[in-house]
Amino acid sequence: MRKIIHCDCDCFYASVEMRDDPSLAGRPLAVGGRAETRGVIATCNYEARAFGVHSAMSTARALQLCPQLRLLPPNFERYRAASRQILAIYRDYTPLVEPLSLDEAYLDVSGVDRCKGSATLMAQEIRARIRAEVGITASAGIAPSKFVAKVASDWNKPDGQFVVRPDEVDAFVAALPVKKIFGVGKVTAARLQRLGVQTCGDLRAWSLAELAQAFGSFGASLYRLCRGIDERPVRPDRIRKSLSVETTYVTDLPDLAACSAALPALIEEFRARFGRAQEARPVHKAVVKIKFSDFTQTTAECVCEAPDESVWQALLEEAHARKSRPVRLLGVGVRFAEDAHAPSGVTQISLDFAV
């Protein structure tokens, strides 16, 4: 039986800012783009969240909800420095560390002798070291799988942890809303809700064949994860080459105009995911993916450091012109530069792009 810890620092960017300027503590704080350039919030502290502010929200809306919000531009050099300290702590316990972002990672501590082999005690010790050595707080989830550990790490935030033991996995997962399943976005969650599926327990009434018929290849993942089955290993030093979102439409989009109308919602979903990923490497390319009604697919991409809606629209037009058929799937995303450090002239993607 594997022992997986999912560690996630609490409102990471904002926590680093408060650590470096203690006068910010206790005040509503956000890191993000400027309102006058139609920026978005990357992260915010819990004082700001009390007003309804959250990541991926437009800065203008955040300031409406919380006029006293202190807004700071991101400082990725300081965040990367803190990230190196955090990853060094993780790797002091196990070489099996899979980073997901600057502050978030899976750790496989199966067979590790530290703390008498207790993953719970290791998570407590790791969190204490992050507080003492980095000056910020972290939360953790402990479970036999990556899926359950990641869900559990949100259970007692901030500065807490939650354990799901092997004999508790079945009941824990059954009660989860289906939106907690990895890969279930707003569109899929809404579709499941229309089908009368609210929880993972509800979803278990569907057979593998029924889910495959309704959701294609994703049906197999739904079948496994709603039962808490996740055999994915922790992969050390996994490097994300790209980041994207995509939607398969219940009714095919008939033409380019319909695709263009669907694009803003897809871009908004991508921006939310980009904000959560906290990727420090510079963007190298913008990408659009199309799957046509005959199941053939194509991608269009271009070199672009900070794509906006006009860039993705141009790529959409290029890709759609290759076949000009109804579209069943549409996706947008970016590819990252190979080098972790931006070369001269390349900058971190802006949080000021239009929303």
Tell me what pLDDT residue 33 has.
84
Residue 36 pLDDT greater than 60, yes or no: yes
Q: Locate the domains of the chain by residue range.
A: 4-10+77-167, 13-72, 171-225, 242-336
Tell me what pLDDT residue 305 has.
82
CATH topology of domain 13-72: MutS, DNA mismatch repair protein, domain I (3.40.1170)
Residue 142 pLDDT greater than 90, yes or no: yes
Contact (CB, 8 A) for 192 and 203: yes
Contact (CB, 8 A) for 25 and 142: no
Query: Which CATH code fits 171-225?
Result: 1.10.150.20
pLDDT digits (tens, 9 = 90+) for 177-197: 999 998 888 788 888 999 999
Binding-site annotation: residue ranges: 8, 103
Tell me what pLDDT residue 340 has.
44
Architecture of domain 242-336: 2-Layer Sandwich (3.30)
∠ CA 295-300-302 to the nearest 5 degrees?
Answer: 165
Tell me what pLDDT residue 222 has.
94
Who wins on pLDDT, 308 or 349?
A: 308
pLDDT tier at 280 (50, 70, 90 boundaries)?
low
Structure tokens at 200: 């993972």
pLDDT tier at 271 (50, 70, 90 boundaries)?
confident
Instruction: Say how many C-beta atoms besides its own lie within 10 A of residue 322's C-beta.
Output: 12
pLDDT digits (tens, 9 = 90+) for 231-256: 999 988 666 788 888 888 878 999 99
Architecture of domain 4-10+77-167: 2-Layer Sandwich (3.30)
Structure tokens at 255: 């033409």
Residue 261's Cβ-side half-sphere holds a number of Cα atoms within 13 Å equal to 7
pLDDT digits (tens, 9 = 90+) for 48-97: 999 999 988 889 999 999 999 999 998 888 998 999 999 999 999 999 99
Tell me what pLDDT residue 136 has.
97
Residue 341 pLDDT greater than 80, yes or no: no
Tell me what pLDDT residue 227 has.
95
Binding-site annotation: residue ranges for Mg(2+): 8, 103
Model pTM score:
0.71
Instruction: Enumerate the active-site residues.
Output: 104
User: What number is the average pLDDT over the span 127-155?
Assistant: 97
Residue 38 pLDDT greater than 70, yes or no: no
